[in-house]
């Protein structure tokens, strides 16, 4: 009975996404904690780093798997939906930006907001460029 359930594609996909999400969210948590302990709370360094590495990662992986490596469907779900979906933090990015503004740090909020967007797009471009055929 259990073997039959595990053969169901929906169950396989759900497991792949869930395992990726565990790894991604724990990576996000511990990196954010490390950056906060190392650099303090005046700027959301952890979220900034995660957004930039996440955008580079999604660009690199999409280029790699599109042009160079055949990817089993569950591995794609693990990486893109599970890991990167829980690792990247644009909802946290928005909250951090609002909190910077509320704390009277409008200039820092603007740099953070603009830097994340511009450098994030550059990260995706670099990731796809690195894996071009």
Chain segment 70-90, per-residue pLDDT in tens: 889 999 999 989 999 999 878
- Does residue 48 sit within a domain? yes
- Does residue 51 sit within a domain? yes
Q: How far apart are CA 32 and CA 81, in angstroms?
A: 20
Query: How many separate domains does the chain show?
Result: 1
- Does residue 42 sit within a domain? yes
Tokens 């996440």, located at residue: 54
- Does residue 1 sit within a domain? no
- The predicted model gives 36-60 an average pLDDT of 93
- Does residue 98 sit within a domain? yes
Query: The domain containing residue 119 runs over which residues?
Result: 37-130
Q: How far apart are CA 113 and CA 122, in angstroms?
A: 14
- Does residue 88 sit within a domain? yes
Question: What are the φ/ψ torsions at residue 89 (nearest 5 degrees)?
Answer: -135, 50
The answer, yes or no, to whether residue 13 has pLDDT greater than 90, is yes
Q: How far apart are CA 69 and CA 63, in angstroms?
A: 9
What is the model's pLDDT at position 93? 87
- Does residue 75 sit within a domain? yes
Residue 2 tokens, joined: 């259990």
Residue 24 tokens, joined: 């991604």
The answer, yes or no, to whether residue 2 has pLDDT greater than 80, is no
Residue 110 tokens, joined: 């603007």
Question: What are the φ/ψ torsions at residue 88 (nearest 5 degrees)?
Answer: -70, 150
Under the banding of pLDDT at 50, 70 and 90, the label for residue 121 is very high
Question: At how many degrees (to 10) do helices 45-67 and 90-102 cross?
Answer: 160
- Does residue 120 sit within a domain? yes
The answer, yes or no, to whether residue 1 has pLDDT greater than 80, is no
The DSSP result for 49-71, as a single string, is HHHHHHHHHHHHHHHHHHHT---
Q: How far apart are CA 100 and CA 97, in angstroms?
A: 5
């Amino acid at each position: 009975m259990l073997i039959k359930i595990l053969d169901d594609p929906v169950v396989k996909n759900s497991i792949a996404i869930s395992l990726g999400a565990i790894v991604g969210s724990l990576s996000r948590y511990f990196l954010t904690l490390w950056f906060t302990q190392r650099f303090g709370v005046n700027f959301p360094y952890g979220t900034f780093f995660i957004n930039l590495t996440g955008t580079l990662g999604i660009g690199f992986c999409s280029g790699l798997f599109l042009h160079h490596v055949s990817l089993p469907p569950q591995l794609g779900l693990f990486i893109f939906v599970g890991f990167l979906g829980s690792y990247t933090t644009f909802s946290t990015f928005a909250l951090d930006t609002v909190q910077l503004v509320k704390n009277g740090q409008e200039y820092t909020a603007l740099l953070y907001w603009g830097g994340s967007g511009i450098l994030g797009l550059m990260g995706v471009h670099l990731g796809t460029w690195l894996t071009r055929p």
